[in-house]
Amino acid sequence: MKKTVLIISVFFFTTHFSQVAIGKTSVSNTSVSLEFNNGNRGIILPWVTSAGAVTGAVDGTLIYDTTDRKVKYKNSGAWKDMSIDATGAVNTALQNTKTESASAKVTIGGNSSTNATAGILVLADDNKAMVLPKMDRPHLNIVNPAAGTIAYDTANHQLAVFNGTVWSFWKP
């Protein structure tokens, strides 16, 4: 009974308020759809066998392509490389043994017109954003990062992306 009440409560709050905080009690402001606690952890992007195999991806989609070992994002209908080094090394054995439902998906937000059939986690609000995990120098502080790890570096004010071997940094 407790589990049912908890599941219904989570569903109610994520559906009606469209804001989720992970590892903390609340999001920082009303413009945030999904926010992570600060700490020495990043997000690990979905591993795909190749960007070309991802169908239905919309602009803004982020992936880790295990074929060429690069983090990529979809921009203007094409995949763009976010890694600077093509020698990323990753053991995909764990990922290759996963089983999932083709329809497995979590949607946060209320914009039902979002076309993201390829997404596992879809942020469907058109007026809210996701806040990446933030930390001081993730390339020094994340112990044993996995390929596809992404975080925001608060010391250098830049995006840090790990391809399995080296970190790439993106600054506006």
Contact 111, 82 (CB under 8 A): no
As a whole number of Å, the end-to-end CA separation of the chain is: 49
Count of residues in the chain:
172
Which whole-number Å values give the CA distances from 42 to 11, 23, 39, 90, 171, in the listed order?
25, 12, 8, 17, 17
Q: What is the three-class DSSP state of 7?
A: helix
Contact 51, 146 (CB under 8 A): no
* pLDDT surpassing 60 at residue 121: yes
C-alpha span between 129 and 143 (Å, rounded):
27
Nearest to 87 by CA among 167, 166, 169, 170: 166
Q: 123-158, pLDDT tens digit by residue?
A: 666 667 777 888 899 999 998 888 888 888 999 888
Can you name the residues that pair with 79 across neighbouring β-strands? Answer: 74
* pLDDT surpassing 70 at residue 7: no
Average pLDDT over residues 22-41: 78
114 token code pair: 């979002």
What percentage of the chain carries pLDDT values higher than 70? 63
